[in-house]
Amino acid sequence: MSSRIVTGLDIGTTKVCAVIAMITDSNELEILGVGVVPSKGLRKGVVINIDESAASIAAAIEMSEIQAGVEISGVYIGISGGHIEGINSKGVIAIIDKRKEITESDVRRVIDAAAAIVIPIDRDVIHILPQEFIVDDQDGVKDPVGMSGMRLEAIVHIITAAGTSINNLIKSVNKAGYDADEIVLEPLASAQAVLTEEEREMGVALVDIGGGTTDYIVFEQGSLRHTGVLAIGGNHITTDISIGLKTPNAAAEEIKLKYGAAVADFIKEEEQIEVPGIGGRPPHMEQRRILVEYMQPRIEEILALVNNELEKSGKKNTLGAGIVLTGGVSLTPYIGDLASEVFGLPVRVGAPLGIKGLHDIVDSPIFSTAVGLTLYAQDNLPKLGPTNTKDEEKNRESVISRIRKWLDEFF
Ligand SMILES: Nc1ncnc2c1ncn2[C@@H]1O[C@H](COP(=O)(O)OP(=O)(O)OP(=O)(O)O)[C@@H](O)[C@H]1O
Ligand SMILES: [Mg+2]
């Protein structure tokens, strides 16, 4: 029964969050426990101090275990950071079956062919995601098994990460006393929690603006088409406030959460806020509008950078369902208005959808990644089963080899 319990671990730049969920007999996901602690030992989404990150991880998981009343062993870990790369790759094979009917093993072969790209030795593949198949001249095929044809082509999206970043995540989790079940690209997990089936079919970009990184992921006709990570996020907004209002970072963060907004024109001139002084100086009053004037350009910059990336990728005009914002920064009032102006597309702010149990606790864009990791686990657990190793090197090997195995079991 314990294999029906899954745990998502989002090791963010600002917070570490563990979510324990149970997969019910009717295959629904029920949240049993949530643990959130401030994150230590990370910069821009990447582990820089293993002892510190291990301590935060242990604290978050223990908190979630107490709430859930269960002890867990393995976790699905989110990965992000500027080192993530996604590329599209093609493979083609001839159908050798006499009746020219495509089998599961053909599909496996063509994906292997598409995935056979040269990857630098300091990088590892974390996902191989089939996008579409082409049978003879017919494109846009989702599942070619059973179709007739002479030639089968696959287009896959391959996501790679720096080997050292993967190692440091797994080491941190092992040091905290847990196994890594699998490493999952954070925006892929967030997408599981936040996007509807319909949005993915119509074409959508999910933009997860966290503390240290802004991740984006594009779906078109139900499949992932493009991903990217920018090393910029809410922490930069806080730094701008701290410099602009001449107040310590912690106070700037507090003021941002309390009074922040994304569009200065929406703030009345007469609204006043109290700003703490630096080094024992007395607090002073300031117009709220001034605060928002420091925030707006930075938020606009983050959104414009994503917009540029989408335009460069050629995916901008495929987004029939527009943009969905998630992550902590998406809680900034009026960010939807600013974003729809920058992107020129409809925008909504998304939090985890369609889950049971303690869903009100995770009903915030801050929890999209952690909840999404449990949904990802729910989808993949039946294929793989839980990992079981306490040995660090073995754990790393098993996580990497599971990607290959996933392909084998999937088809
Ligand atoms: N109500 C709010 N208004 C404005 N900003 C907010 C609000 N709540 C949280 N934030 C900001 O969101 C950021 C944290 O978001 P989130 O929890 O998604 O990040 P993270 O997952 O820890 O980081 P990352 O994904 O970059 O590694 C912080 O910069 C925080 O100040
Ligand atoms: Mg995050």
Q: Which domains does the chain have, with CATH numbers?
A: 85-161+396-410 (3.30.1490.110), 197-350 (3.30.420.40)
User: Is pLDDT at 406 greater than 90 in this prediction?
Assistant: no
Which residue has the least CA distance to atom 5 on ligand 1?
Answer: 329
Q: Are 6 and 378 in contact (CB under 8 A)?
A: yes
Read off the amino acid at residue 3.
S
Are 100 and 62 in contact, with CB atoms under 8 Å apart?
no
Portion of the chain with pLDDT greater than 70, in percent = 93
Distances (CA, A) of 204 to 213, 219, 354, 364: 20, 5, 19, 20
pLDDT in tens, 348-401: 999 999 788 888 889 999 999 999 999 999 988 755 544 545 566 677 777 766
pLDDT of residue 411 exceeding 50, the answer is: no
Mean pLDDT value across the chain? 91
DSSP strand E in 74-150: where? 74-79, 85-94, 123-135, 138-141
Q: Which of 314, 378, 368 is nearest to 28 (CA)?
A: 378
Between 289 and 86, name the one with better pLDDT: 289
Q: Which ligand is nearest to the CA of 45?
A: 1
Surface-to-core class of residue 205, CB atoms within 10 Å of its CB (0-12 exposed, 13-18 middle, 19+ buried): buried
Write out the H or E segment, with its range, that includes residue 227.
Answer: strand 223-230
Whole-angstrom distance, CA of residue 277 vs CA of residue 166: 41
Mean pLDDT, residues 208-223 taken together:
94
pLDDT at 36: 97
Average pLDDT over residues 122-146: 92
Tell me the pLDDT tens digit for each residue of 14-40.
Answer: 999 999 999 988 888 999 999 999 999
Ligand 1 atom index nearest CA of 237? 29
Could you say which DSSP state residue 127 is in?
A: E
**Pocket-forming residues, ligand 1, beta carbon under 6 Å:** 12-15, 39, 45, 80, 210-213, 233-235, 238, 253, 256-257, 260, 327-329, 331-332, 366
Q: What is the DSSP string of 264-326?
A: GGGS-TT-EEEEPPSTTPPPEEEEHHHHHHHHHHHHHHHHHHHHHHHHHTT-GGG-TT-EEEE
pLDDT mean over 102-120? 91
Q: For residue 337, give every residue at least 6 positions away whose Cβ sits within 8 Å of its Cβ, in sequence order, or none.
A: 262, 263, 266
* pLDDT tens-digit map of 60-97: 999 999 999 999 999 999 999 889 998 899 999 999 87
Between residues 302 and 98, the one the model is more confident about: 302
Indicate which atom in ligand 1 lies nearest the CA of residue 365. 18
Cβ count within 10 A of residue 86? 23
Q: Which residue has the tokens 């095929």?
A: 141
pLDDT recorded at residue 171: 94
In the structure, what pLDDT confidence band is assigned to residue 319 with cuts at 50, 70 and 90?
very high
Task: Determine the Cα–Cα distance for residues 37 and 20; give it in Å rounded to an integer.
Answer: 15
Of 319, 129, 322, the residue nearest 224 (C-alpha): 129
Question: Ligand 2: distance of its center to the CA of 79 in Å?
Answer: 9
Tokens standing for 92? 């083609």
Residue 33, phi then psi, degrees to nearest 5: -155, 145
Centre of ligand 1 to C-alpha 368, Å, is 12
* Whole-number Å distance between alpha carbons of 321 and 347: 8
Alpha-carbon distance of 50 to 10, in angstroms, equals 15
Residue 344 has pLDDT above 60, yes or no: yes
352 φ, ψ to 5°? Answer: -55, 135
For residue 134, name the pLDDT band (cuts at 50, 70, 90): very high
The closest of 127, 327, 81, 86 to 227, measured between CA atoms, is 86
Q: What is the mean pLDDT of residues 114-126?
A: 90
pTM over 0.85: yes
Higher-confidence position of 398 and 154? 154
Query: Does 407 score more than 80 pLDDT?
Result: no
User: What is the average pLDDT across 262-271?
Assistant: 96
Q: Which residue has the tokens 């999209």?
A: 368
CA dist 190 and 216 (Å) reads 10
For residue 64, count other CB atoms closer than 10 A to its CB: 26
How many Cα atoms within 13 Å fall on the side-chain side of residue 100?
8
Ligand 1: which of 291, 292, 329 to mutate, most ligand atoms within 8 Å of CB?
329
Quickly state the pLDDT bin for 402 (edges 50, 70, 90): low
The whole-number pLDDT of residue 206 equals 98
Report the pLDDT value the prediction gives residue 383, as an integer from 0 to 100.
54
**Which of these, 164, 153, 306, 133, lies nearest to 226 by C-alpha position?**
306
- Quick one: pLDDT at residue 277? 82
The percent of residues above 90 in pLDDT, for the chain, comes to 77
pLDDT in tens, 165-207: 999 999 999 999 999 999 999 999 999 999 999 999 999 999 9
Gap from CA of 266 to ligand 1 centroid (Å)? 22
How much is the pLDDT for 380? 82
Residue 26 neighbours by CB under 8 Å, 6+ apart: none
Encode pLDDT of 217-234 as tens digits.
999 999 999 999 999 999
**pLDDT grade for 276, boundaries at 50, 70 and 90:** confident
Ranges of beta strands (E only) in 14-146 are 15-23, 29-38, 42-43, 46-47, 74-79, 85-94, 123-135, 138-141
Q: In Å, how far from its chain's centre is CA 68?
A: 24
